[in-house]
Structure formats: C-alpha cells, structure tokens
Amino acid sequence: MFKKKTVKDINLRGKTVLLRVDYNVPIKNGIIQDDFRIRQSLETIKYLISQECKIIICSHLGRPEGMDPSLSLRPVVLRLSKLLNKGVAFAPNLSSENINSEVKNLKSGQILLLENLRFNPGEDKDDDKFAKQLSELADIFVQDAFGVVHRYNASTVAVTKYLPSVAGLLLEREVDTITNVAQNPKKPLMVVVGGAKIADKIDILERFISMADYIMLGGAMANTFLKASGTEIGASKYDENELPLARRILQLAKTESKKRNFTLQLPFDVVVSKKMDSNTTLRIVDWSSYSLSEIESYPKRPPKRGSTVLSDEKIFDIGPFTGAYIAGVMQSMNTVIWNGTMGVTEVPSLITSTGPYSHGSELVLQAISGEFGHKPFSLVGGGDTAGFVQSKEMSANINHLSTGGGASLELLGGHKLPGVEALLDK
C-alpha cells in the first residue's frame, strides 16, 4: 500500500500545480524516438485538467553541462499537445521573470512546459534557491517523475520544503507494483541487468545476490565484470572506478553459489566491431569454444584470434549463444526482472528490423514474452529498455513495464527513494 498522499487525496480544484514528470526520452535530430514516458504521464495530467488546474510541467532531459540546445525539451511540446489533443505552451527560459509572466497568462486547464531543468546548475545540486524559485510559481507540487526520484535534485527533494507535495498517479502505480514484486517475488527469480549506467546500478547487484536464483549480466555492465575477471575487452565501454566493486561482487556470488543453487553468469560470447555503425563488419568472439586444432596443439599455439577481443574492437552486444542460453534459463523461472539493454539498441539495421547490436536484447524480450513456451511474470525497467520494448511493439507481453531504470532497481533492492520520502504522508 502506497503510504504517501496522491493527487486524489487533496483538493486541487482551480489550483496552480507544479508537476514534475520524467520526459527524459530519446531525441535524435529533434525527433522523439520513443514517447513511452510521455504517454505514461497523461493519466495525471488529464486528472489535473479535470480539476481545472493551471498546470506547469517540468522535467530534465539527458545530462547537460549547462545550456545545450540538443537537449532542449521543445520537441516534447508538439508530441504532448498531440497526445492530449490540446495546446501546450513552452517557457524556453528558466529565469523567474520569464516564467512568471508565462504563468500569469495561464488559464484553468491550460498547460505550460518549462525548459530542461538541468540547464540550471541548481537542479542537480538539490539547490534550495532554485527549488524556491520553482515553488513560487505554484500552490502545490505533484511528483510523477518515477524515473528520477532516486536522486536528490531541486525538483525531487528541495522543492518539497516550499510547497505541499503529493504523488502523481504514475508514481503511485510504479511504487506499489515494484514494491510488491520486491517483497514477494514468485521464485525462482532471474535478474537480467545490462545497459550503460554502471555506477548507478552496480550496488544493487550485491542485494540481488541474496534475493535472486539467477543473475545474468549484459551491456556495458557485463564489460566491467569481464574486465574485472581478467578477460580482454579491447576498447569496450566499462567503468574503471567500479572494478574493485565488480571483483567483490564476483567473489560474493561465488560464495553464494557454494551455499545454494545460485548463479551469476557473464556473457560467454559477444558481438564486437571496430566502429559503432549500421554497416560495419561484425565479429562474434566466443570464449567458450575451442577449435580442434587449438586443443590438439595445446599448449604450443596461442589461442585463435576468434576467441579474443582485439585492442581496437568494442563489445556492443551479447553473442547468440549467451542470448539463447538466457532464453533457456528463463524457461524454468517464475519471475524475471530485466533492466538495461543487452547491447546498443539505438543503431538501426540497413536491411532488417533488428539493429546489428539488438539481437541479444531481442532474444531476451522474446523469452520474457513467452515466445519459447514458458512465460514468467515480468518486470522490465529503464528508459532505454522500455523504449526498446515499445519499438518492438511488445509492451503488452510485459506484466509491468516501468518508466524507471535506476529508480526501479533501488526500489527492488529495498532502498528508500528520497523523492518519494519527501512527499506528504497519507
């Protein structure tokens, strides 16, 4: 049961509301690649419209350092307006004079979207001054940005000091559903973690070792563990700072698997290329197989080129055998938590519907969806991961598709979310 007040617990009629959403959506050349997070925000916005509120919407986009036109929220205006079938105004300048005059012009049921909050350095720093400036625009603060409530930001924590603050309907649903899975997962439980936000997500793996029956790593997360275990990963993306923790987690997993039926598995084959490109040459590096000649000549000849990532190559996806193996393990799992893509899913293919580095993620998605027979209960999270599921039009097959990546993992790991804790209690 959600313990915080929501928009339904207070009188909002005719009030001016500052609504924090997570519109951190992939945008390429001004075009929104996936609008899942925008669509998930509509329920609360429609409720606020029904209450005749004046609605000021704010969000972050990406991780800009100061002003960066490529990370403007302007492209969201048109999409939001289309989805709501009503006009949406935009405040391109976050300075108070500018926004104040825009807010004065707002009428009941109208919407103003503010520019990327992270263009103001106060946002990331949970700065009181910036939070106060935002709070002066409205009567009430509504938090609906589940994807970012694990952070201490001006628009997640500091702002709640200055305004009565309640949860939106998406935030309530996300927290309720994910907490339920965290407390009572139907076992056996498999956790698949990939993606690139290594520092954000690695801590939680320690907790999953005691919770899960099977942990599978992919993406740049797996690269960090492969490196930590002494495997050559060439020029692949990994996190140098997290190597000691990765080593500790591998050791912990080893100890756990001696105690009970538990496995932490790294990819045993990967897809590599020299450039991240739609029409580059791909190679599969497979650490699990040996050619007959290698075995017969052992130890005279060095391992074949095929089983080493070269210094100028990068791992961009898990390999086909690892993908098939994950799909196989899933046949005996009752719950699967998937967070972070298995590879770089943003690169499109020139010929097929599946990009050159998307095959691993596609196999995981098919297995979770029950396409190989058994369908486990599934909780899938993360902006990019959810975007991938949407692009394959398979969201209907997922039991809960979360808008939050790091936030959903924190919650699954039993951690408190500062942006939720700061809201009014029921």
Binding site for ligand 3PG (CB under 6 A): 22, 24, 63, 147-148, 151, 383, 405-406
The question of whether 5 is a catalytic residue gets the answer: no
Cβ 286 vs Cβ 321: under 8 Å: yes
Among Mg ion, ligand ADP, ligand 3PG, none, the one that 22 touches (CB under a kind-dependent 5 to 8 A) is ligand 3PG
Report d(CA 307, CA 305) in Å as an integer.
6
Of the chain, the end-to-end C-alpha distance in Å amounts to: 11
Q: What are residue 317's DSSP bridge partners?
A: 271
Q: Which residue has the tokens 């563990």?
A: 225
Q: Which of 20, 37, 54, 227 is the catalytic position?
A: 37
Nearer to Mg ion, 376 or 381 (CB): 381
Site for ligand ADP in 257-316 (CB under 6 A): 315-316
What's the count of helices (H) and strands (E) in the chain, helices before strands? 15, 17
Nearer to ligand ADP, 185 or 340 (CB): 340
Q: Which of 195, 383, 387, 419 is the catalytic position?
A: 383
The question of whether 392 is a catalytic residue gets the answer: no
Among Mg ion, ligand 3PG, ligand ADP, none, the one that 219 touches (CB under a kind-dependent 5 to 8 A) is ligand ADP
How distant, in Å, are the alpha carbons of 269, 285, 292 from that of 298? 22, 20, 10
Q: What's the farthest any 2 CA atoms get from each other in the chain? A: 81
Report d(CA 230, CA 290) in Å as an integer.
19
Min CB(194)–ligand ADP separation in Å: 6
Q: What are residue 58's DSSP bridge partners?
A: 20
The question of whether 383 is a catalytic residue gets the answer: yes
Q: Phi-psi region for residue 161, left (φ > 0), alpha (ψ -120 to 50) or beta? A: alpha
The question of whether 37 is a catalytic residue gets the answer: yes
Residue (of 125, 129, 137, 131) closest to 57 by Cα position: 137
Nearer to ligand ADP, 64 or 340 (CB): 340
**How many Cβ atoms sit within 10 Å of the Cβ of residue 397?**
18
Q: Is 251 helix (H, G, I), strand (E, B) or coil?
A: helix
Residue whose C-beta lies closest to ligand 3PG: 24
Should residue 232 be labelled a site residue for ligand ADP when binding is judged by CB under 6 A? no
Out of 53, 117, 204, 344, name the contact with ligand ADP by CB under 6 A. 344
Nearer to ligand ADP, 67 or 199 (CB): 199
Min CB(239)–ligand 3PG separation in Å: 14
Residues that bind ligand ADP (CB under 6 A): 194-197, 219-220, 223, 237, 315-316, 340-341, 343-344, 346, 382-385, 405
Residues that bind Mg ion (CB under 5 A): 383-384
Q: Catalytic residue positions?
A: 37, 197, 383, 406
